[in-house]
Structure 1
Amino acid sequence: MPKAYAYTRHGGPGTEAFIEVDRPVPGPGELLVEVRAAGVNPVDWKLRNGLRRPGAAEAEFPAVFGSEIAGVVAEPGPGVTGFAAGEAVFGNPVGGGYAQYALLPVSLAARKPDALAFTDAATLPVAAATAHDAVRQLALPAGATLLINGVGGGVGVAAAQIARSLGVRVVGTASAAKKEFVEELGAVHVPSGEEGLAERVRAAAPAGVDAALDLVGGPALEAVAALVDPARLVTAADPAAAARLGASPVRRARTVEVLDAVARLVVDGTLRPYVTATYPLERAAEALRAVEAGHVRGKVVIEVAT
C-alpha cells in the first residue's frame, strides 16, 4: 500500500508517524498525482500544533502533512479534460502531499515546464506564490524600499527576488548567520530579534521604508509596525495581530495563473527557488524538524522515489 507521513492528533513531533493508505481515487475536478517532490513549510507543523485556517473544517486524523507538490498525473478524475496521464504538474493538493500519491484539484494544478525541476516546482505553490501575491498587493514602484521581516525563509527569499526584479530596494531581517545569504539576494541585511529592531532598520534605511512584509509575527511584527504606515504593512505570519494593528494579511489569489507566473520567473532566471536541503520521504521527520527549528535558508524539499 502507498505510504504517507501524517500526524495522528494535534500536538508536538510525538504525534507524527508513517501510515499506509489506500491509493486515492480522484473525483470530479481532481487529478491523482504520483508525487515526485513536496515542499516543507512552517504551516505544516503549525497545523499539527492545532492551527486552524479561517473557514477550514476540523482536522480529520490521521492528517497527512504537506500543501505543495510536484509530480506526474497518474489518473484524471471523472470528466476532467485538458490533463492526461504522464503529464508533469505542480500545485496545492487536498489531503496532504508528504506521500507517494496525492489528489490535486484541477483549479490548483499547473503544468510543469520541462525546464523546471520537480524539486524547484514543489517550492512554488505556497512559498513563491505567497511572495508573488504579497509583492503584488503592496504594488511598490521602482525605487521604493521594502522591508521583509524574516527574509531568509522560503517566502522571504522569493519575495526579495521578485521585488528586486521590479526595481524595489529590499531591506531584510534575518539572523546574523544568514547575512551573506541575504546579501546574495541583493537585500540589505538587518540582524533579527525584536529588541532594538526598529533602530537597526532605521540605521540600514535612514530614508525610511515605504512598505513591509512580515513573515515572523509576534513582538517582531510590533516593532515593524512602528516603522511603516499600517496600510503598507502585510503579514503572512500573524493575521490576528495584523487586524489589531490596522495592517492586512497577505491576500492569496490561489489561481493557476499565479502558479504559471512564478514558474515562468524560475525558467527565465528571475527567481531562484534556493532549495538548500532535500530529504527522501523516509526522512520526512528530519525535514520537518529542520523547518520547525526556524533556521533554514531558503527551502527544504522532500523527494519521493518513483
Structure 2
Amino acid sequence: MAKAYVFTRYGGPETEALVDIDRPRPGPGQILVAVRAAGVNPVDWKLRDGFRRPGDTGEPVFPIVFGSEASGVVEEVGEGVTGFAPGDEVFGNAAAGGYTQHTLLSAAVTAHKPAALSFTDAATLPVAAATAYDGLRQLALPAGATVLVTGAGGGVGSAALQIARAFGLRAVGVASAGKKDFVESLGAVHVASGPGWAERARTAVPDGIDAVYDLIGGEVLKDAAGLLADRRKLITAGAPPQEVEALGGEWVRRARTAAVLDELAGLVVRGTLDPHVTLTFPLERAEEALRAVEDGHARGKVVIEVAA
C-alpha cells in the first residue's frame, strides 16, 4: 500500500483526502519510483474542479491522485524500458499522480537527476519549468526581443522570466505589487497587476512588447492581446485553447520530452535557473500545500516532500 493525497469526485476541497492506495505496477514504457518530492501546480486543483486538458479522453476513475510532476528513486521498470534501472535517481511527469509514496513515470518524459540537483528542485521542472521553456521556444523570438509574462510571480512565471533571460530576451513580469522585488530579482521589469495593468506596461516599455506569455486567462489575456501588433506572438497556458485562438493566439504546445528535462536540469545546475521553492510540506500536509497554490498567493514554487 502507499499513502496518497486524492480527490474522490469533481468539486472543491471537500473532495480531497489522504488515503491508502494499492502500490502501482509499471506497465509498458513506465517506471515505478519511490517518490521523494512532488511539485504543486495550479493545474492540480483545476483538474479537481473538472478541468480537462486539451486532448483528454475517456471517463475519470476516482479516486485520482493529485500531482503531475515528481522526483524519486527507481524501484522497477516496465516492459520495453531501457536506460533506467532500480536505484537510479530520476524526475519526470507522473502518470499516476505525484502526491504519493510511489508513482509511475512515463519513461519517455523521465530524466536522470544530476547529483548536484536536489530532489526538491527536480520535482519543479517537468510541469512548471518545462511549460515555461516550451512556450518560449514556441514564440521563437530573436535575441533582444521583449516578452511580457502575466502571472509572473508563480512557478511557471518565475521560470519563464529566467529562461527568457537565458535566451537573450528582455523580460517583463506582471505580478502583484507585493512581488515587485521578487520579479526584479529575476532580472525582469515589474508591472503591477490589477486594473490598468496594460497601460502601466505600455509606460514601462515604451518601445513596445514583441510577445506575451499569458498564465492568467480571462480579461488579463484580452488586455494582453491589445499590447501586440502581431497576435501570433500571443500564447497562453492559463486559458482554454478556444479563448486564446479567438484572439489570434495559441495554446502553449508542450514538447514533453526527456531532452527538455535534461536541458532544464542543466540550467539549474549551472545557476541560470532557480526554481525558487519557497514552501515545502510533508505528504501528510498536502492539503496545506495545495491551498497555498489555489489561494493564488504563493511566490515561486510549492513542493511536497516525501520521507524515504
TM range (shorter): over 0.9
Tell me which of 233, 254, 268 is aligned to 1:252: 254
* Equivalent residue letter for 1:174: A
What is the CA deviation profile of residues 172-208 of structure 1, one whole-angstrom value per residue up to 9, with x for unaligned ones?
1000100000000111111112x21221110110111
Identify which range, 174-183 or 54-63, moves more after superposition: 54-63
Aligned partner of 2:102 in structure 1 is 101
Hey, what's the Cα distance between the residues in 2 that align with 1:133 and 1:60?
A: 30
Hey, what's the Cα distance between the residues in 1 that align with 2:2 and 2:165?
A: 42
Tell me which of 286, 295, 298 is aligned to 1:296: 298
* Equivalent residue letter for 2:190: H
- TM-score of the aligned structures, taking structure 1 as reference length: 0.98
Aligned partner of 1:148 in structure 2 is 149
Aligned partner of 2:52 in structure 1 is 52
* Equivalent residue letter for 1:268: R
Aligned partner of 1:287 in structure 2 is 289
Hey, what's the Cα distance between the residues in 1 that align with 2:167 and 2:243?
A: 29
Aligned partner of 2:217 in structure 1 is 217
Correspondence 1:144-293 to 2 at 5 A: 144-193=145-194, 195-228=195-228, 229-238=230-239, 239-293=241-295
What is the CA deviation profile of residues 212-243 of structure 1, one whole-angstrom value per residue up to 9, with x for unaligned ones?
10001010111101001211110011122101
Aligned partner of 1:66 in structure 2 is 67
Identify which range, 283-292 or 168-177, moves more after superposition: 168-177
- How far the C-alpha of 1:7 sits from its partner, in A, is 0.2
Let me know the Cα RMSD of the aligned residues.
Answer: 0.9
What is the CA deviation profile of residues 38-94 of structure 1, one whole-angstrom value per residue up to 9, with x for unaligned ones?
000000000000001122132210000000000000111234322110100000011
Hey, what's the Cα distance between the residues in 2 that align with 1:177 and 1:211?
A: 24
In structure 2, runs of 5+ residues without a counterpart are none
Segments of 4+ in structure 1 off by > 3 A? none
Change (3 A) 1:247 1:79: closer
What is the CA deviation profile of residues 160-182 of structure 1, one whole-angstrom value per residue up to 9, with x for unaligned ones?
00111222111110001000000
Hey, what's the Cα distance between the residues in 2 that align with 1:157 and 1:66?
A: 20
The alignment covers a number of residue pairs equal to: 305
Aligned partner of 1:29 in structure 2 is 29
- SS of the aligned residue for 1:102 comes to strand
- SS of the aligned residue for 2:4 comes to strand
1:19 aligns with 2:19: yes
Percent identity between matched residues is 66
Hey, what's the Cα distance between the residues in 2 that align with 1:221 and 1:78?
A: 44
In structure 1, runs of 5+ residues without a counterpart are none
What is the CA deviation profile of residues 117-140 of structure 1, one whole-angstrom value per residue up to 9, with x for unaligned ones?
000000000011011111111111
- How far the C-alpha of 1:269 sits from its partner, in A, is 1.0
Hey, what's the Cα distance between the residues in 1 that align with 2:223 and 2:82?
A: 50
- SS of the aligned residue for 2:262 comes to helix
Hey, what's the Cα distance between the residues in 2 that align with 1:233 and 1:79?
A: 39
